[in-house]
Amino acid sequence: MLNVILEFLTKNDILSKSIVLIIKLAIVMFIGFILTLIVNKVLFRHVIDGKRKQQSKTIKAFLNSVIKFGLMFFMTSILLQAVGVDVYSLAAVAGIGSVAIGFGAQTLVKDVINGAFILIEEQFQVDDMVSIQGKTGVVEVIGLRTTTLRNIVNNEVYIIPNSQISIVTNMTKDVQKVSFIIQVEYVENLKELNERVQTAVLNFADDKRILSRITSSAYYDSKHPFVNIFVSCSVVLNASIGVKNTLNDAVVEMIHQYDYKQAVKPIIVENK
């Protein structure tokens, strides 16, 4: 049976080349999967303190970006070779024409270099609250080319090329960020709910563990008929869990006091 298959593949050149191509692509994807697994599971699984955890999430996001671009490069090379394009000759032609495309590549090079310096100098990290180019939000990803921020109030996402990052205001450097969202069913008087939330959390404004003003906001959810109650503040290191529980309990108590109905599946954002 094996001999028959081998003989068939030998005679059918197109089919045999297609199988070889699929095997090569599968190997590259498998290597990428293993590298991603190492980055996500093995390399950072024993992180303990908050600052180290924040650094790990930053480096992990950056390495995942590098792996993604690496996979795209190798898979493109394999596909080009499969259709008869000499990759080495193509590289030589690209080298000759590099002057023509140099200006177009400058921005890409700047993005990558600036992204590397952001990591090396620890200007900001994943989960930091920053202001860049007039956009304020929590850092979600520091990638090879871009940095992604999320506005915690209206949930907008800002994708900023690393080359455009010149002045950064980091509002949570060397402190821990506490933030959470609790959902309640739809209410008409949003202003009144905002005032009640503020009253509930501001009772803890003098807590020595809290380093910043406690910000709170109630706003309509964009996807569901709920109201999101958002609370955020900066705290001293190793106090995030205690402060989060304290503020969370205060908001829940207010919800019960005024007979608001908590959403069936409340969303609590993980401590920063």
What would the mean pLDDT of 74-91 be, rounded to a whole number?
61
Q: What confidence tens digit (pLDDT) does each residue in 207-260 have?
A: 988 988 899 999 998 888 899 999 998 888 778 889 999 999 999 999 999 999
CATH architecture, domain 176-257: 2-Layer Sandwich (3.30)
pLDDT range class, residue 185, cuts 50, 70, 90: very high
Q: What is the mean pLDDT of the chain?
A: 75
Q: What is the pLDDT of residue 107?
A: 75
Q: In this structure, are residues 214 and 242 in contact, taking their beta carbons and an 8 Å threshold? A: no
Strand partners of residue 129 = 138
14-18, 111-115, 147-151, 213-217, range with the lowest pLDDT: 14-18
| Two structure tokens written together for 98 | 């590099």
| 155 vs 162, more confident | 162
CA–CA distance, 270 with 272 (Å, rounded to integer): 6
64-68, 120-124, 232-236, range with the lowest pLDDT: 64-68
| Two structure tokens written together for 70 | 């690496």
Q: Residue 268: which of 254, 248, 253, 251 has the closest Cα? A: 248
| 107 vs 93, more confident | 107
Structural domain boundaries in the chain: 2-96, 176-257
CB atoms < 10 A from the CB of 256, how many?
10
Q: In this structure, are residues 227 and 187 in contact, taking their beta carbons and an 8 Å threshold? A: yes
Q: What confidence tens digit (pLDDT) does each residue in 4-41 have?
A: 554 554 555 555 566 666 776 677 677 766 666 665 66
